[in-house]
Amino acid sequence: MQEDSNKTKALKKANPGPFYAWPMGLWFTIFFIAPIVIIVCYSFMKRDVYGGVEAKFTLKAYQQMLDPAYGKIFLRTLFIAVLSSFLCIAIALPCGYAIARSRHQTLFLILVIIPFLTNSLIRIFAWMTILGDNGLLNSFLRFLHFAPRKFMFTKGAI
C-alpha cells in the first residue's frame, strides 16, 4: 500500500513538459531553423552558370550588398518593412481590443479571417483594379475633376 502511494507521488512530481515540447522543437528545427541555415550557407557559395550554387566559399554577395546601388535598395526595403510593421501594429492593436470587447466577436473574427481564405493572386488583381491607371481610385479622382495620379508601383501602393 505504501509502495503504491510513493509511485503515485513520484508520477505527480514528474514534469512531462520537456517531453511534450520535443515535437514542437523538432517542428521548428526542421521547418524554420534548417531553411535559414541553408540560406545562410548558400549566401557564402559561388553562383553557378545556370543559376544554382557551386560549393566554393566566397564573400562576393556581401561585397555586392555594400555597393551604393544595393545599399539604397536595402535601406528602402528596410524602411518599408519597418514602416509597414508599425502601421500593422497601430491598426491591429485597437482593432483587436475592440473585437475582444465586442458582443459580435464571431462576426468580426470571420471578417478578419476572410481575406486569408482568398488566393493571393486574386487579391493582387483586385489591388491592380483599384490602383491602376484606369482603376477605381483614378476614376473617382476624375469624377471629382482632379488630375489622375500614378498609384501602381509606388511606395504608397506597397
pLDDT in tens, 54-86: 889 999 888 888 888 888 888 889 999 999 999
* pLDDT value, residue 3: 60
Range(s) of the domain holding residue 56: 1-60
Are residues 108 and 78 both part of a single domain? Answer: yes
Using alpha carbons only, give the angle 55, 56, 58 rounded to the nearest 5 degrees.
130
Counting the structural domains of the chain, the total is 3
Are residues 31 and 54 both part of a single domain? Answer: yes
Are residues 81 and 32 both part of a single domain? Answer: no
Are residues 22 and 52 both part of a single domain? Answer: yes
Are residues 34 and 87 both part of a single domain? Answer: no
Report the pLDDT averaged over residues 22-47: 92
* pLDDT value, residue 151: 87
Tens-digit pLDDT profile for residues 107-129: 999 999 988 888 888 888 988 99
Rounded (10°) CA dihedral 75, 78, 84, 87: -80
Are residues 3 and 47 both part of a single domain? Answer: yes
Query: pTM surpassing 0.75?
Result: no
What average pLDDT does the chain have? 87
